[in-house]
Amino acid sequence: MASSRKNFVHDPLDHTKPSIRLIELQPHLSEDGLAQCALSHATIDGEYTCLSYMWGPKSPTAVILVNGKEFRVRQNLFDFLKMATARKSFRRKVFWIDAVCIDQENRLERQHQVLQMGDIYAQAKEVIAWLGLCNVPIPLWALKVSGSRFHASERLEIYREGLDRYLYDNPYWNRAWITQEITLARKCSVILNSTWMALDHVIEFYLQVVELRCMAFNPQLKPIDRTDPRRTMPIITLLATFENRKCSIPQDRIFSLLSLCDERQAIVVDYKPPRLNLMLNVLNIFPDKLCICSVYIVGRALELTGTQCKKVHLKKLLWLSIDLDPRKRVPEKDHDLAPELCTSRIEVLSPRAGYADWYKGKIWVATFTLQDRLEHVIYWGAECTMNMPVYYARRRSDGTDSEYQVLCRYGDGLELSAMAADNGKYTLRVALPVFMKIVAAMKHELCDVAKFGRQYSYIRDMGWPEMRIGYHDC
């Protein structure tokens, strides 16, 4: 019988409305032991439950039946469907599950569904967080009582592996997409094996048992108050807050936050263009907030490291342009007139002698200060000869430089040009891979300029540089 079945093929969705597909679990396995579900088209106004889960490895896969036809899913989802079929409370339950309800081979459909992903989870009756199967004992009953009472009973060590590995340090909590899946939920429950727990109980127990504080679980990740006008934040702030989220496609670190960010309408969901385009799109939304911090945080989220960028031709790379006046100094963070200044900054000193032994005559010096710590010093010859080596060194805490290394060749990742004749101002242009290499060691918190923008008119007068980002010929 199984050999005569056809493979399931999705019928197209209507992209002119908030259309989705829903599946209804059937109460029994098929004759050959496969989980079964009926799939139908609907809109986000329907009544359904969303499943939040990890896709897991691409193999092994298992077969389920969708509308009587074979459909392959990954092992973690198969485990959930098999468990749910065996439970009476799940029978005839209607679910939205992305791996089944979205035609993953159709790029346009994926983009259509990602655009309304936040609405899909926000409109759901409930969100279930599936943590997978577990083969060690976990005191799930303890999550419904006081964590302090549990700890006092000296039972923690008995169940430590289960609590650590399968519940609070479960890799599920590191997924990029769960940020909006959980925060937008009307109600959220957690399921491990076949045990159902309220997310509130999981959070309360975590906060009361100190030994669990180092786990991947984040107690701040919970449904938000939908009446709170501050429920959205700038995308840069969100990227800094959820910096280590895991995803198979780097763009999803941004797309998974769209429903929670202020700039939702300005960011285009499109997986086809290169990641550099998405980076430029995000950073150009708020040019007044452009600084070392914001450029680095977006580049890191999209995994645009120096090594990966070098594979792209220089003219196809993004370049950061910084207008500098060597005669002015950016004030320190604690300056009484500069409360909002960026504590990460780039400054260029006029050509002078005596900084490095390998240069004959004068050299340029550029300093990169990251979160108020002078981290890198860049040196190159005053003549700015093409292909001349540009050196850099880390600045030690005692004020001396570490061993000098070649950062790039002049004109091949770093350029300096006069803005106008004899006005003493220059534009320093740094290619993205060079920039990412320089600032890779910076602290991860955002500066005030990245958070709030250049709100004060005197910032430019005090020497704060203007920054722009674009392709080489722009």
Residue 205's pLDDT is: 79
Report the alpha-carbon distance of residue 352 to residue 382 in Å, rounded: 8
Residue 339's pLDDT is: 43
How far is C-alpha 130 from the chain's CA centre?
21
Distances (CA, A) of 464 to 137, 297, 461: 58, 20, 7
Residue 174's pLDDT is: 92
The residue ranges of every structural domain in the chain are: 2-124, 232-474
Give the model confidence (pLDDT) of 438-451 as tens digits: 887 655 567 766 77
Q: Mapping DSSP to helix (H, G, I), strand (E, B) and coil, where does residue 448 land? A: helix
Strands (E), 12-57: 19-25, 36-43, 49-52
* Entry pTM: 0.82
Q: Residue 78: how many CB atoms within 10 A of its CB?
A: 19
Q: Are 24 and 42 in contact (CB under 8 A)?
A: no
Helix segments in 422-467, DSSP class H: 432-439, 448-452, 458-461
Q: pLDDT tens digits, the chain, 474 residues: what are they?
A: 555 789 999 999 999 999 999 999 998 888 888 999 999 999 999 999 999 999 999 999 999 999 999 999 999 999 999 999 988 888 778 999 999 999 999 999 999 999 899 999 999 999 999 999 988 766 655 555 544 555 544 556 666 667 777 888 899 999 999 999 999 999 999 998 888 888 988 888 788 775 656 667 888 888 887 666 557 888 988 998 887 889 989 999 999 999 998 888 899 889 999 898 999 999 998 887 788 888 888 998 999 875 554 555 666 788 888 887 766 655 555 555 444 455 667 777 766 544 444 455 567 778 777 666 677 788 887 766 777 888 888 877 777 888 888 888 888 888 887 665 556 677 888 888 888 888 876 555 677 667 766 655 545 555 566 788 988 765
Nearest to 53 by CA among 191, 148, 157, 163: 191
Residue 10's pLDDT is: 96
